[in-house]
Chains A and B, each alone.
Chain A
Amino acid sequence: MVASAIGALSARLSGLAMPAAGWSLPARRDAALRLEGMGLPGRRDEYWRFTRPDAFNAETAPAAKVLESDEAPLFSGIDRLRVVFVDGVFDADQSDPLDMAGLEIDLLADVADRDSHWAEGVYGILEARGQDPVARPHAALNTAHAVDGVLIRATGKAAKPVAIHHYRSSETADAVLHHVVRVEAGADVTVLETGPAAARFNKVMEVDVADGGAFHHVRGQGRDHERRAATHIFARLGEASTFKSCTVTMNGIMTRNECVIELTGGGAAAHVAGAALGDGDFHHDDTVFVIHGAERCESRQVFKKVLRNGAVGVFQGKILVKDGAQKTDGYQISQSLLLDGDSQFLAKPELEIYADDVRCSHGSTTGAIDEDALFYLRSRGVGKSEAQDLLVLSFLADVIDEIEDERLAGDIVGRLETWLSRRRG
């Protein structure tokens, strides 16, 4: 690295620490070394051309106003085990006891000084695997310096979802959290996430699903307009396992959601979906890598963006089929609905295939509201703006369909409706 890059990295790392000992230390040191090797991302990096990494690289978090809202948190009506963080700091008072049949739950900070922990086999391991072939420096930074996080091990079918609520109260909080989920063979767990988290949020979630296991993930990223988030999901799937993740984002000056999924066992299925709605100063980037490393696996990437008033949406998605991953069934769709002429959608869909008996397809579209559909709804008496909102929900339906649980899907749709109605002219 050149001197300026070294200076930038050491400035970014100022104030970040590591535990003095404990099971996570080797992984943290390894990540720190890797980070030193790769440096912070720059505009010339292939996967940072559409999104400026500056705010993520900066020494301190840019200030972000905290949204005052009397809206109940997402998933409030769902029976769940709550784990609450405020500005990236665990809040025991607002959380439920970390105890549920079929699950082992710990906080990373609580168990950091132990000599061993089951999470040792996952923490930083999947993140490190996910650095190839594309470097993800902020994920390495996270592994090295994460302050806290939730460690969830599912050994059976969890009775209810674990909901991680990321609230915020400070205008300048800079949070680094690292969650680890291990789904044992045949086990089944749902993890929910919601909230704006911090002024700047760096989050990694590693998900290791053993043979026949199932992981479901539904995430809502809080409405605070000025917040920034760089998140990573790294998943590894065993034989005949299932991974389903759906993220809905409304507002956010800067969001980069990366997802790296590795299908390592035959017959596994990975679905990753995202809906992003932005109005004005909004930049949302979904960067997804799905790696087929075994036969007969299925993957789905479904990403949709609704943009207005100069909002920017980015989608970079790859299906990588390794040599020998025969009978792969891969699908990717990225679409944007531009509600005016000022907004922008940038898409980089990629297929890279080294097996000869596969079915892979991808598509990307950008469009405006369908005038025929709008007229049809209005001709039945529905007012123009309400009809437009219905068509926005119609556009997002494929993403919502990726949420299996109807109550969770209903909760998300309710939020979308409210977001749209607030903007009704």
Chain B
Amino acid sequence: MLEIKDLRVSLEEEGKRILNGVDLTVEAGMVHAVMGPNGSGKSTLSYVLSGRGGYEVTGGTATLEGADILGMEPEERAAAGLFLAFQYPVEIPGVGNMSFLRTALNAQRKSRGEEEVSAAEFLKVIRAKAARLDIDADMLKRPVNVGFSGGEKKRNEILQMAVLEPKMCILDETDSGLDVDAMKLVAGGVNELRGAGRAFLVITHYQRLLDHIRPDVVHIMVDGRIVKTGGPDLAVAVEKNGYADILAEAG
């Protein structure tokens, strides 16, 4: 599904190197987790994959189902099936949550040559999906993320994911700012979307999210590179011992 090879990235303005050769392959149907200390480049990886400006790719490749995504505009990556659940979802006053989501869905469908979804049809779909995430009609009507609590913003991200049905979902620290109940709700939403045709890259600081979204593979990122890869046990070990052992091992 997602294949990253020797990806090297610098900050455009300062020329500071952040990713120093990331190699990572996520197969369809799999959930991979990326853990790592602060400043290791986890969020940068998610931004570079989704096409945020301000970064310069100095080497390597990233492909989604064989297509080079690094040359695409952010909206083209979305239409190709990539989705980033933001760590800090942006507030957009004056733009209704539901109408924005329909605009996004239809923009993606249009660019894939598919028929647009009617307002009535869309309403049916979104209501069912929103209910499962405990998102009420009022939240759907309100402007995008405006006045939402931290938990509501994250649930709204998962709702967007559920409606847009991407193939490759990247979750950037989706657990930050969530209490246990909100995390369960969010994890439940993610787990429902797990399936053979879809893959996940879950970026997190803590193992606790991975108690609810069980990963198939866990990667440890340090200093802009994947330094260790293992099964779910690796996350447990990190939680227990911190990154010190791994850092020492990686030199």
Contact = CB atoms under 8 A, between A and B. Distances in A.
A378 B51 contact: yes
Nearest to A399: B94
A376 B90 contact: yes
Interface string B158-202: 001000100000000000000000000000000000000000000
A381 B51 contact: no
B89 A394 contact: no
B94 to A, nearest CB: 2
A390 B53 contact: no
A110 interface: no
B73 A390 contact: no
A363 interface: no
Instruction: State the main secondary structure of chain A at its contact with B.
Output: helix
Given A371-B53, A386-B103, A381 B93 contact: no
Interface stretch (B1-9, B30-38, B74-82): B74-82
User: Which of A373, A384, A395, A398 neighbours the largest number of chain B CB atoms within 10 Å of its CB?
Assistant: A373
B95 to A, nearest CB: 5
A378 B76 CA distance: 9
The bracket for how many chain B residues form the interface is: 20 to 34
A368 interface: no
B94 A397 contact: yes
Contacts of A390: 92, 95, 100, 103
A370 to B, nearest CB: 8
B48 to A, nearest CB: 12
B92 A381 contact: no
B224 interface: no
Interface string B220-248: 00000000000000000000000000000
Contact of A394 (B50, B51, B94, B107): B94
A380 interface: yes
A388 to B, nearest CB: 12
B105 interface: yes
Contact of B104 (A381, A384, A393, A397): A381
Interface in A218-247: none
Interface string B4-34: 0000000000000000000000000000000
Contact of A378 (B74, B86, B89, B95): B74
Given A373-B92, A384-B73, A384-B75, A379 B84 contact: yes
Nearest to B89: A376
A381 B95 contact: no
Given A381-B105, A382-B75, A384-B75, A397 B86 contact: no
Contacts of B100: 377, 380, 382, 390
A390 B77 CA distance: 20
A376 B95 CA distance: 13
B52 interface: yes
Contacts of A381: 75, 78-79, 104-105, 107-108, 111, 164
A234 to B, nearest CB: 31
B143 interface: yes
A406 B144 CA distance: 19
A124 B38 CA distance: 69
A166 B164 CA distance: 46
B111 A375 contact: no
Contacts of A383: 75, 107, 111
Nearest to A393: B94
Contacts of B105: 381
B89 A382 contact: no
Contacts of A150: none
Given A371-B53, A397-B143, A382 B104 contact: yes
A380 B104 contact: yes
Contact of B50 (A373, A379, A384, A386): A379
Contacts of A377: 92, 100, 104
Interface of A: 370-373, 375-384, 386-387, 390-391, 393-398, 400-401
Interface of B: 50-53, 73-75, 77-79, 83-84, 86, 89-90, 92-95, 100-101, 103-105, 107-108, 111, 143, 160, 164
Given A378-B74, A379-B86, A393-B95, 13 more contacts: A373-B90, A375-B53, A376-B90, A379-B77, A380-B164, A381-B108, A381-B111, A382-B107, A386-B103, A390-B100, A396-B94, A397-B93, A398-B93
